[in-house]
């Protein structure tokens, strides 16, 4: 594995029912990497991603992917509401409205996807971002950065 990955457990998740893992919702955190982890671990926050990716590509695992993390809120995708049940939450540290994803962040995300893509039967149709599943309420990712990430996923895995 090219990028380091470590556990930084967040208590903000549900054990049952198990996560359906149909696809992925990407986010940006606005906060920095360490600040994001601290926030996800804070008892008051009640929010979490499955994984957060640092600008250098390092990944922190916050919630086991078999469990439902609380990243999407009120949301709808593929005709279904409540995306937390079926989309894993992958977040990039930083704010894509202010600065683009680093190459290492994109590569690390692809590496993370690679380990799951075939096994979980994923396709490009099941990749999205928070802005698209919560329109008017959320603005992550910046559209240009979503298009860049989507193109990178398509180039690596096809449609
Ligand atoms: Zn988000």
CA of 1 to the centre of ligand 1 (A): 26
Which pLDDT band, with edges at 50, 70 and 90, does 143 fall under? Answer: very high
Radius of gyration of the chain (CA): 14
> Using H for helix, E for strand and C for coil, what is the string for 112-136?
HHHCCCCCCCCCHHHEEEHHHHCCC
How large a percentage of the chain has pLDDT more than 70? 99
Q: How far is the CA of 28 from the centre of ligand 1 (A)?
A: 6
Mean pLDDT of 101-118: 98
Q: What is the rounded average pLDDT of the residues 95-110?
A: 98
Question: Is 149 in contact with 45 (CB distance < 8 Å)?
Answer: no
**CA-CA distance, 56 to 48, in Å (whole number)?**
21
**For residue 9, pLDDT beyond 80:** yes
Cα-to-centroid distance, 30 and ligand 1 (Å)? 9
Q: Which residue in 121, 137, 120 sits closest to 129, CA to CA? A: 137
Whole-number average pLDDT of the chain: 96
Residue 135 binned pLDDT confidence (cut-offs 50, 70, 90): very high
Paired with 80 in beta bridges are 77
- Ligand 1: centre distance to CA 91 (Å): 7
Q: 90 C-alpha to center of ligand 1: Å?
A: 9
Token pair belonging to 147:
């298009």
State residue 51's pLDDT score: 98
Rounded distance from Cα 155 to ligand 1 centre (Å):
24
Q: Domains in the chain and their CATH numbers?
A: 5-157 (3.40.80.10)
What's the confidence (pLDDT) of residue 50?
A: 98
pLDDT interval class at 131 (50, 70, 90): very high
**Average of pLDDT values for 103-121?**
97
The mean per-residue pLDDT over the stretch 29-34 comes to 97
Return the pLDDT at 71. Answer: 97
Query: From the centroid of its chain, how far is CA 30?
Result: 13
CA–CA separation, 13 and 120 (whole Å): 21
User: pLDDT category, 1, cuts 50, 70, 90?
Assistant: low
Provide the pLDDT for residue 89. 98
- For residue 49, the CA-to-ligand 1 centroid distance in Å is 9
Question: DSSP 3-state assignment of 94?
Answer: coil
């Amino acid at each position: 594995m090219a990028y380091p990955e470590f556990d930084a457990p967040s208590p903000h998740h549900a054990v049952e029912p198990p996560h359906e893992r149909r696809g992925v919702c990407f986010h940006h955190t606005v906060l920095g990497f360490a600040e994001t982890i601290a926030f996800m671990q804070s008892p008051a926050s009640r929010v979490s991603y499955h994984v957060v990716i640092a600008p250098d590509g390092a990944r922190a695992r916050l919630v086991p992917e078999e469990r439902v993390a609380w990243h999407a809120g009120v949301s709808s995708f593929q005709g279904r509401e409540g995306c937390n049940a079926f989309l894993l939450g992958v977040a990039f540290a930083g704010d894509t409205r202010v600065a683009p994803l680093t190459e290492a962040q994109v590569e690390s995300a692809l590496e993370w996807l690679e380990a799951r893509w075939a096994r979980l039967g994923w396709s490009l149709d099941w990749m999205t971002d928070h802005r698209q599943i919560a329109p008017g309420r959320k603005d992550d990712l910046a559209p240009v950065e979503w298009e860049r990430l989507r193109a990178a996923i398509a180039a690596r895995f096809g449609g």
